[in-house]
Structure 1
Amino acid sequence: MKYFHFSFLMWTLVLTFFQYCLFSGSYRASAADTLAPTQFIRNGSTLVSSGQTFELGFFSPGESNKYYLGIWYKRLPDTVVWVGNRENPVIDSHAFLNISSTGNLFIFDGQNTTIWSTNSSRSAKNPIAQLLDSGNFVVKDEDTYEDTESYLWESFDFPSDTQLAGMKIGRNFKTGINRYLTARKGVNDLSPGDFTFGLGNDSLQFVVREGTKKRLRIGPWNGIKYSGRPSQIIPIFNQVSVYNAEEAYNRFEVTDKSIISRLTVNESGLVQRLVLYENTSEWTVMFTLQNDLCDDYAHCGPNGICKINQLPICECLEGFVPRLERMWQVLNWTGGCVRRTPLDCQERGGFLKIKNVKLPDLLQFKLDERMNLKDCRVECLKNCSCTAYANLNYNGSGCLMWFGNLIDIREYIEEQSEQGIYIRVPASEIRTGDSIWKSRRIVIIVASSMLFGLLALVLMCWYMIRKCRRKIKESQANKEDLELPLFDFVTIASATNNFSDSNKIGTGGFGLVYKGELFKGQEIAVKRLSRNSQQGVEQFMNEVAMISKLQHRNLVRLLGCCIKRDERMLIYEFMSNRSLNYFIFDETRRKLLTWPKRFEIIMGISRGLLYLHQDSRLRIIHRDLKASNVLLDNELNPKISDFGIAKMFGGDQVEAKTNRVIGTYGYMSPEYAIDGKFSVKSDVFSLGVLLLEIMSGKKNRGFNHPDHYHNLLGHAWLLWNDEKALELMDRCLEDSCVEAQVVRCIQVGLLCVQKHGEDRPTMSYVVRMLDNEEITSTLPPPKEPGFYVERSSADTSAVGLHMEPSTENAVTLTLEEGR
């Protein structure tokens, strides 16, 4: 009996000690990077990778009472890169993580109920879990040599919404693992959302899906880049894409150790590359995959091609016509195109080549990696159902053949490439093409003869031109007329730390923008023309000609330029508070702009635009007024920037027309977007959109409301007609607003965005209406806005030109950070 009591006492002491270790956390992994079967992680304790980069533990997002196992950057705890139990969060704070003796991970709640676990088919003698400095959480045998093949399980095989450096996105055909990103449902709801990003069923293309519906597609890898994507040489990255019998995946590596990068898909479905520079704590968006309407999947329907640099942006492929002509007339292209002349299998027919396009979706296709292009053509002709063929690889190898409709083709003009797609057409279409080519040859011959006649005259002038070439080149900056200061290249290079990445603050179609500091301590912004820019020289000259002659407190100040050989740079005053959209569209920063400050910004923008239209020596039409082109100085005073596509009016000129519409959808007036007509009233329309965005804190483009399918303009119009205009106001302004002033600004904004230009006020009247309280009672009622219908209830496809492809891809510059 004494022995029994002694044994019972010993077991009690052992169990008490074990429970103490289990629930007090005194025996746990909190400073190390590994977890053994005798250890556990519970709320309040963590693993930290050996290089102090990543941390693993339990956390609760925001004000949520749910707990998740996650991995985050140790110095940036709000940036969570992986979540284990996102589908089954713990609802109490007593959860803990443990690894079993066979090597499986388990999350238990306070009642020891299994909440989440891994299911490895292999086991280990001495299993441990380790958080690596790459952010990968792995399970392995402690006695096994360190290599990825020995991992029993790893978090990199089960991504959340983030791809880290070294992580593969794609398929392993041997193990059956499919790695893809899944967005969260909301900021504080980490459960899987509707949007995913990963390889398509063909294992060749990457796709963004909303549920089962495709929203964006990236064409197959051709050995250099993804089909249809502009080539982007980013020195700090190495992209690796693999397609073989065992695996198909993409991963990236960061070559610059001072930079951290990740790829994410957010709750709205946007796939973004984010970077974090050394000694900073704020992520910068390097690029977003969704850039414009042509990136929307199948935007132009079957057998249509999307061309973002023309209006309308959709047209049928050669040999095809709209299937529903009436729908195309109202800019609804979802019906696509059909053949003008049906294919006749008895005729041989032929192919028309289209270059610089994204290859069609691989819905019905055949791939033969052994074939060359010539054999591919022969094989396609043998099959009556074959509608197109192309090389898979840039070096000419690999044969892709399509059967059925050709879907989701878009044009790219940023670069020239011989690789293209060959569309099958009847023999009659080929003859038509030959006839056109013969006519063109005749025109070319005649034109060449005329040019030859002028050659003698050109040669006579050559000697004089040679003497003057240097002077002509220098005069490109209008030095003698504009009296614009010229900066030395060495001075600018020194001011920007030799144009280092750490000084980069923006990018666009023109090139890059750098922050610099002159030897006297003056901060500057340097806009450097990219040598590969097709439109940069024109924009450079236009901006020099425009802004150097303008002086107003609400226009950004051009300090000078720098010209050396093929270098072209513009030097501006530095704007420390970035751009207006950096504040008004951000949930936190928008609160810094109280109503009095927003009203000051509205008045400043209006006075700056009035100066351009009426008070300057030249009448200037800006053509791209938007939130990102309004910069803020250190006192949040607004300054209109970016005159790259501005136009100068002379004398009594009131309107002009262009065949090349460049600007930003969402801000463009109807007459400019559709007919290419622009005037001072075009800028007034853009100002009206901007006013309503400042009022509401919402973007016109992509605005959504549960009760209707209008954009922001339509929403404001509905509220105004229902006498509920104040409901448009940003809620964070409730404590600081002057209601009568807010209503007046909304009314002025609606007057500015009226459909017809003649109904819109002039800028002088706009300033009077905004600045004069007594005029409120005499203001006219606004009429219907232009471009206010955004989506139909039956389809989320665009109706009308209301979306906003960024002019970064044209000629204007949108800053990432401000200048």
Structure 2
Amino acid sequence: MDTNVVQFFKLVFLLFFPCMWTPHDAQWVHVSSTGISSAGDSINPGDTLNSSTYIVSEKGTFALGFFHRIDSTTTTTETYLAISEMAEADQILPFNLFVWFGSRDRPIVNNSVMLTLDNNGTLKIVQKGGDPIVLYSPPQPTKNTVATLLDSGNFILKEVQSNGSIKRVLWQSFDYPADTLLPGMKLGVRHKTGQTWSLTSWLTDEIPVPGPLALEWDPKGYQLIIKQYGVIYWTSGVLRGKTFKNISPEVTSMYDFIIVSNEDEDSFTYVNSNQSQRSEWLLTTMGQLKDLKGQDIARADYCYGYNTNGGCQRLKQPVCRHHGDIFDLRTGFLVAGDFSANYDSSLGISDCRAICWNNCGCVAFTSWFPNDTGCRFWTGKWQFLPGPGEPPSIFVLSSNDSSPFLNGTEGSVKSFKSVIHRRGTKKWIPIAISLLVIFLCILCYLLRRKVALEDHNTSKLLDWKQRFKIIEGIAQGMIYLHKYSRLRVIHRDLKASNILLDESMNPKISDFGLARIFEQNELAANTSRIVGTYGYMSPEYAMKGVFSIKSDVYSFGVLMLEIVSGRRNNSFQHVDDALNLVGYAWDLWQKGEGIELVDPAISDSCVKYQVLRCIHVSLLCVEDGAIDRPTMSDVLFLLTNESMPLPLPKKPAFSIGRKAIEANISYKESNNHSLNGLSISEMDAR
């Protein structure tokens, strides 16, 4: 009965609050937004290409310059030297598709950057405050060199004769492909040097660093192969004439293939049969190989290891996965028994799929962070709801075999949608109100069934492992409120009594009576009505009424100290000094005795380095200046990545003391505060 109630609660929540998700959008732009100019198609010795210039191939097909990515939530300072296809004349932006990156695994951290060719023939990227990135350095000084961007998209460094003709090519971008194969580029190996030519996917659709997928030429099998972490998922089959076994003749007829096999190299190259057409083979982050100017070439993203159609390879399978099981990409909301997350930012969406596939309990996955890194997984029975607005995209496990559970789920969704359609918008309003009332009743019922984190008897039952799980859960909830809901939510009263634990000791953030909603571009707000609980309030909020996401970070830092110590902040007084828990923790930390803060009840179960890391991160959260505090995403990253060095915390704002705070805000509305954990507030429009 309780499980059904919880599932219905989730269903109603997702129907009435579909806005709690922020779709991610990003774009790449030239480093300089004004005054960009073309410097021809070449760089001569002594020339520099800076962030305000770019070179364009002779016929205006490709451009080379410095670019960085603009994110919907933040502006990245990572800059890349890149070759971009020039856009059509009727498009607003001059640059279109990126086909090559210089040192894609070493992004440049600022915009003060230049590409230089010196008089000795060295081609390198020079950045302010950083080591140069050398693209080519001759074994001995070479005179008469020129770097030219060709209409093929190849950027070459050549040694020229006195009459301007090419003597030899010293270096070319075609030897260092990224995720795009242009006509004339090679896949294969050069035997003399051991250099390999292969495509490597981006980590995500927004991050160009090398991902886990690769397209290679197999000279022994005379075929193309797609690998993930070295494991072959797809093969083209043997090339016979102009056709591959596992690629449609309709596709291969568009190209001429050139195979070289000798003592110098084994390589594969393609050119267009119709020279007036252009082609760009792209290996996507999920393993799809497609011509951006034509059709799909290969679908390794359809390869699950049990099927061999279309070139897929048979692989060892988890016992729980069967023929016909696939992940469908759907847009909407998922109601499932539980979810978990992997915060590793080196994981892309194809990694998430592999992890979910090999976990028998996993039924769905998507990315965790806005830049499409990290993973979020769902387990247990599920229901999928196509939501209005711009809901998230989720990969959901489904089967071609008939399943009563799946059929029932989809049927209920279709019936629900048909009711809305038949009744019309006006007639739907009374039903919405009725469901909302039911939702509120169920919410009250569930809240009464839960136990507050501050309950003294409950705290005795929590060992360190459970407490750390609670800390992680609260952090995840706050990240969602701050980052992933379309309207950013500032809780303003995060404290132990507002954290409820279910029967499995999973934390639930409650009491949003004091919460404020921010637009995505809104950073802070000011109010003359100070509401919340003293001891958990940030200094800028308690003293000036200024609040932001960093106000919640401060409250989280206090809460984490309470969980570690087993003591409440606003009831703490040291024997000699009128300090709160934050001050006491700081004193112990300064003396190198942070472990003395730990609750004696968990002294046997705690992991010392993990506890000390939690205390350290707590002190970062309660720093005096809001700008110095980490975001909740940073907090979770620091807590779960133990190899990441932590900055030293600054002295927190505990020396003011509770009495001083009370005196300084006595002119505020005194009926809007609490000193003993009870929050009192007036109704205040959002």
TM-score, length of structure 2 as denominator length: 0.43
TM-score, length of structure 1 as denominator length: 0.36
